Amino acid sequence: MAQINEFPKEEGQTEPGQQAPAQDAAQTQIEKPPWWRRRLIGYLCVLPILAIIIGGTELMKGIVPYLGYPSSIWVFFLTIVALTWGTGPALLLIVLGVTVLDYYFVAPKDQYTILQWPDVIQLVPYVLAAAAITVITHQLERSRNRARIAEMHARTAEAQAQNSARQLSEANQHLTEVNQKLANADRTKDRFISIVAHELKTPITAIRGHSQLIQHRLARQQKQQSLSPNEEKTTSSVQHIEEQTDRLTILINDLLDVSRIRSGQMRMKKEPCDLNEICRAVTEEQRLLSKRTITLHQPEGPLLLQADRDRLAQVLTNLISNAVKYSSEPEPIEVSISQQEGWAVLQVRDYGRGISKKRLPHLFQEFYRTPDAQVSSIQGLGMGLAIVKEIVKKHDGQIGCESEEGQGSTFFVKLPLLQKP
Ligand code: ADP
């Protein structure tokens, strides 16, 4: 199925999957920590901090000569390093710190005896404290990272949602414009059909007038003397012209009706009229035209409606001519009228090809023809039933059809009876 999916790309609009500029900015803003908290800066700071630890510890020992915890300054700075730069620089500070403490402050001083028991016992509590700080900091760092990633995802999702909303609103606007253009084109087409149909009426009336004149002349001549073989051929040609102009007139009138329905200008000239009388006249006319057996069952006396006489005749003509078209001889066509409470019910029954269940719901749509009608030689444009439905609607009535394939069809119309004062 054809789809309109090529919307013109607006300025700033992105391809699907491509990130919007705002989205990129949000991501980089979250991903980049301040420069001084970068891990490399942390490693570079370890040595100066170590120098500060040695200096600080010396100073403390100078102030408090019997200082029992020379490693406390180291633990303090280790905590700061771990919190600021994470586990890598903290581990480096532990390794270097233990070495430096052992050399400068743990007895015997100025010697590396780090692997001997007295040193190990002195340093173990500090190393354990340092390790605990590092582990805790590591956990903190991980949860901080997770929170940052979650925030980043949330911002990305928000940016994507904003982007999608913008794209949707642009698409919506585009669709509204296209709809507007289609509605305008539809109105132009309806106007065109109406103008063409009106314009065609004049030449067709002229053709009909001339052919009737020729027919009258030939008929007069036939009364006075017999016609020559050439004149007889002319008579049959003129009859053919008249049949075709009749067909054209019906088509043009149907086109005009469809255009009136679409523009909401189909008006009814309602007056009190007798449905029995209309049905009698139409049935008789259709019997003569089609030369088919058309029976009529109607109740005694008049059946009064407030209706447009010509339009009701049009409804019945259409239903009977369809029954004639879609059934064949010798099958009869039965027209019946009955009275049900406040309604007059008109039925047209044929024993023709019928309509399949799945086609029935489309029957009253404009320009609808069943597939077998389309491939058959039966002519039609699918306008008749749509017009009939509109006329019935304008009379506050109902229309329907019951049919079975191969068993024929029954079309019924319910119209409100004229209420007696
Ligand atoms: P059309 O000019 O094609 O007859 P209509 O609007 O009168 O247009 O009818 C629409 C379609 O409904 C027809 O093309 C035909 O397929 C189907 N249809 C209408 N009346 C009958 C019927 N009595 N029997 C079978 N099919 C019918």
| CA 382 – ligand 1 centroid, Å | 7
**Whether the CB of 309 sits within 6 Å of ligand 1:** no
- pLDDT of res. 179: 96
Taking a C-beta distance cutoff of 8 angstroms, is the pair 344, 397 a contact?
no
Q: Which atom of ligand 1 is nearest to the CA of 369?
A: 14
Q: Which atom of ligand 1 is nearest to the CA of 408?
A: 24
Residue ID of nearest Cα to ligand 1 atom 16: 370
| CA 242 – ligand 1 centroid, Å | 24
**3-state secondary structure (DSSP) of residue 349:** strand
pLDDT at residue 264 greater than cutoff 50: yes
First to last CA, the chain: 58
Q: Which of 252, 292, 369 most suits a substitution to test ligand 1, by most atoms within 8 Å of the C-beta? A: 369
Q: Which atom of ligand 1 is nearest to the CA of 352?
A: 24
Query: Span 158-168, mean pLDDT?
Result: 96
Residues 144-156: b if buried by 16+ CB within 10 A, e if exposed? eeeeeeeebeebb
Taking a C-beta distance cutoff of 8 angstroms, is the pair 305, 418 a contact?
yes
Structure tokens at 244: 């075709």
pLDDT digits (tens, 9 = 90+) for 364-420: 999 999 999 998 888 888 999 999 999 999 999 999 999 999 999 999 999 999 877
- pLDDT of res. 288: 95
304 CB-near residues (< 8 Å, 6+ apart): 272, 273, 274, 275, 417, 418
pLDDT digits (tens, 9 = 90+) for 115-145: 777 777 777 877 888 888 888 888 888 898 8
**3-state secondary structure (DSSP) of residue 416:** strand
pLDDT digits (tens, 9 = 90+) for 70-115: 678 888 898 899 888 988 999 999 889 888 888 887 767 767 776 7
Q: Which residues pair with 343 in a beta bridge?
A: 340, 416
pLDDT digits (tens, 9 = 90+) for 291-328: 999 999 999 889 999 999 999 999 999 999 999 999 99
pLDDT at residue 276 greater than cutoff 60: yes
Q: Which amino acid is at 129?
A: A
| CA 421 – ligand 1 centroid, Å | 39
pLDDT at residue 1 greater than cutoff 50: no
| CA 167 – ligand 1 centroid, Å | 46
Q: How confident is the model at residue 2 (pLDDT cuts 50, 70, 90)?
A: very low
**Cα–Cα distance between 202 and 194 in angstroms, integer?**
14
**Whether the CB of 382 sits within 6 Å of ligand 1:** yes
Residue 81: burial class (beta carbons within 10 Å; 0-12, 13-18, 19+): buried
Taking a C-beta distance cutoff of 8 angstroms, is the pair 410, 338 a contact?
no
**Whether the CB of 408 sits within 6 Å of ligand 1:** no
Residue ID of nearest Cα to ligand 1 atom 11: 369
Residue ID of nearest Cα to ligand 1 atom 4: 380
